[in-house]
Amino acid sequence: MSDYIVSARKYRPATFDAVVGQKSLTTTLKNAIKAGKLAHAYLFCGPRGVGKTTSARIFAKTINCMNPGANGEACDACESCRAFNEGRSLNVHELDAASNNSVDDIRQLIEQVQVPPQIGRYKVFIIDEVHMLSAAAFNAFLKTLEEPPAHAIFILATTEKHKILPTILSRCQIYDFSRMEVPDIISHLKKVAEREGYAYEEEALGIIAQKADGGMRDALSIFDQVASFAQGNITYSKVIENLNILDYDYYFRLTDSLLKCDIPQVMLTLNEILAHGFEANHLIGGLASHFRDLLVSRDAQTLPLLEVAESVRHRYQEQAGRCSPKFLYAALKLCNNCDINYRTARNKRLLVEITLIETAQLTQENADDASGGRSPIRRLLPIFAPVSAQAAGTQRTPPAAAARQAGEQNPAAQAATSRPEPASATPATGITHGITSTPSGIRRSGGMSRLNTISLHRPEAPSAGGASTPTPLQPTTPQGAQGAQEKQPFSMDELRHYWLLFANQLPADQGAEAGRLQMIVPTLKEDFCVEASVDNERAAKHLEMIKPRLTGFLRNALHNDFINVVFKVDDSVVTRCVASPREALAKMCEENPAVATLVQKLKLQLC
């Protein structure tokens, strides 16, 4: 099992054509190489995990290839290509500016720049996370960037282009990498699942792709996390359980109830969701995203904006057909207002309930409009109408069902929902639209995530092997503080799973650390020592900073207070490449045909 290798490393593309989702960009690079028009400095910008460093490595390999193909790809067979593939090429230098950002680091790099390559034509310097270089380091670098030797090519990669000095920007050819599309990620995950011999449901991969938010490395890392949890059978239900995601089935059901104005059912569904430990504002955020997805499903033009697995696409289209655009706009607005008011509302549940009721009543409004106000449904309205219509505005009190919930006084929620009606609204309906002074449109923050799936950090959720998921990124609790120490044994699979869980949950501003951890396969040594190999000393030093939290997290998750994480520098870590069980079997059969005969005769199968 120590031969395990993370998918993000194992399936890292080795040619331009294999890079997923950046077609136009890789084509441009290939054409530049074919035409021999190389710049001295490139800047690769884009979100994390979309292939910047990978493309930089392929670029370095290709321009040094001794027999490049007519298609602009490297031959993969010459001495230079082999050296690249085996990670021993002296023509590529990678510097991670996140951990090597001092003037001294840059000086070392500049010294290397002066030495011409021994094999091949170019020396390529890849500086990752270049925005992390200190100002002094930037200045030291600038001179080399202005007048580099003919054999030197710089590729700077960054997730934050706006932090790069204009003097650097003006000297680079800039390539903007885009977020990967969900369908692209899904199809890549499918290939990986097939190669690894995992069973999968397409919807499950769809959820992983959405959760990864356009980054392939994140997608593969979440994929590994789920695969270890689901033991190679990646089903939709396993994924939502492991990732703590609210099943989109709830949104479909809720929307159906809302369209029918079936308020009791809406209340019951809400209750069911809250009972599962999800927070109400996440539901509202997810519901708003669902309405948004329905809106884009209505029109063939906007349909490409719907980022879901092919298998659920028709479900969106079907439900969208039953929603009027007017309903969807108004519902989005209600959800948005609820999201804005959520933080200040004293009775948050009530606020959400009122929002849902108002959304349900939108359908009644439509009926009103269509029948000139004489729809029979209108007679139901007094149930939800003001108990006492007060002087100027149309003040509204919560509906009976909600009022029962709000046993306690709830001035905040009340205030949030009983605003004076603006002149433009339709007073006849007796329903305010919750209009606030905030500009309309969806606020893209907090609970209003782009995804209609939600990740939650529940303090105690059931998880792998019946163990409870710890609060993410919890700080280390001092040993012995709570009396007896725990010392439960755990498997390698469990260790890997929680390792990835930690890495995948790191916040966006710790992308560099997350990226490193995602690429590491920890091994278990004696006395619960968890050893992690990194490829250089500086990276190890960098990760030391995050070690206390990681250790605390693992101790908590695996119920073992004796776990200690050790980062070890290992040069060979980059080049190690090991097969999946399927590939290992194929190799064994190749080396010893008797194995193949045995497998055939006994009809053996890998499981």
Instruction: Summarize as ranges the residues that interact with Zn ion (CB under 5 A).
Output: 65, 74-75, 78, 81
Sequence-distant (≥ 6) Cβ neighbours of residue 15 within 8 angstroms: 58, 73, 74, 76
State which residue, 65 or 451, has the beta carbon closest to Zn ion.
65
Instruction: Tell me 96's DSSP state.
Output: E
Please, are residues 50 and 177 in contact by the beta-carbon 8 Å criterion? yes
Give the whole-angstrom CA distance, residue 178 versus residue 53.
14
Sequence-distant (≥ 6) Cβ neighbours of residue 328 within 8 angstroms: 291, 294, 295, 298
State which residue, 83 or 546, has the beta carbon closest to Zn ion.
83
Reduced to 3 states, what is the DSSP secondary structure of residue 506?
coil
State which residue, 78 or 169, has the beta carbon closest to Zn ion.
78
State which residue, 83 or 226, has the beta carbon closest to Zn ion.
83
Reduced to 3 states, what is the DSSP secondary structure of residue 233?
strand
State which residue, 58 or 254, has the beta carbon closest to Zn ion.
58
Q: Cβ of residue 86: shortest distance to Zn ion, in angstroms?
A: 13
Q: Cβ of residue 81: shortest distance to Zn ion, in angstroms?
A: 3
What are the helix (H) ranges across 343-393? 348-370
Sequence-distant (≥ 6) Cβ neighbours of residue 124 within 8 angstroms: 56, 59, 60, 63, 64, 91, 92, 93, 152, 153, 154, 155
Q: Cβ of residue 123: shortest distance to Zn ion, in angstroms?
A: 16
Q: Cβ of residue 77: shortest distance to Zn ion, in angstroms?
A: 6
State which residue, 78 or 380, has the beta carbon closest to Zn ion.
78
Q: What are the strands of the beta sheet with 41-45, ordered from one edge?
A: 92-96, 123-128, 152-158, 41-45, 173-176
Q: Cβ of residue 191: shortest distance to Zn ion, in angstroms?
A: 25
Q: Cβ of residue 75: shortest distance to Zn ion, in angstroms?
A: 4
Q: Which of 510, 503, 515 minimizes the C-alpha distance to 565?
A: 503
Give the whole-angstrom CA distance, residue 151 versus residue 148.
8
Buried (b) or exposed (e) across 118-127, using 16+ Cβ within 10 A? eebbbbbbbb
Sequence-distant (≥ 6) Cβ neighbours of residue 208 within 8 angstroms: 185, 189, 219, 222, 223, 226, 239, 243
Q: Cβ of residue 124: shortest distance to Zn ion, in angstroms?
A: 14
The amino acid occupying position 117 is P
Instruction: Tell me 533's DSSP state.
Output: E
State which residue, 75 or 456, has the beta carbon closest to Zn ion.
75
Tokens of 383: 């149930």
Q: Cβ of residue 156: shortest distance to Zn ion, in angstroms?
A: 25
Radius of gyration of the chain (CA): 28
State which residue, 26 or 533, has the beta carbon closest to Zn ion.
26
Q: Cβ of residue 51: shortest distance to Zn ion, in angstroms?
A: 21
The amino acid occupying position 27 is T
Task: Say how far residue 155 (Cα) sits from the centre of its chain.
Answer: 25
Q: Cβ of residue 19: shortest distance to Zn ion, in angstroms?
A: 18
State which residue, 19 or 273, has the beta carbon closest to Zn ion.
19
Sequence-distant (≥ 6) Cβ neighbours of residue 173 within 8 angstroms: 39, 41, 42, 43
Please, are residues 56 and 44 in contact by the beta-carbon 8 Å criterion? yes
State which residue, 81 or 332, has the beta carbon closest to Zn ion.
81
Give the whole-angstrom CA distance, residue 531 versus residue 512.
20
State which residue, 61 or 542, has the beta carbon closest to Zn ion.
61
Q: Cβ of residue 119: shortest distance to Zn ion, in angstroms?
A: 11
State which residue, 75 or 103, has the beta carbon closest to Zn ion.
75
Query: Which runs of E-coded beta strand occur in 7-53?
Result: 41-45
Give the whole-angstrom CA distance, residue 255 versus residue 245.
18
Instruction: Tell me 198's DSSP state.
Output: -
Give the whole-angstrom CA distance, residue 188 versus residue 575.
23
Q: Cβ of residue 240: shortest distance to Zn ion, in angstroms?
A: 45
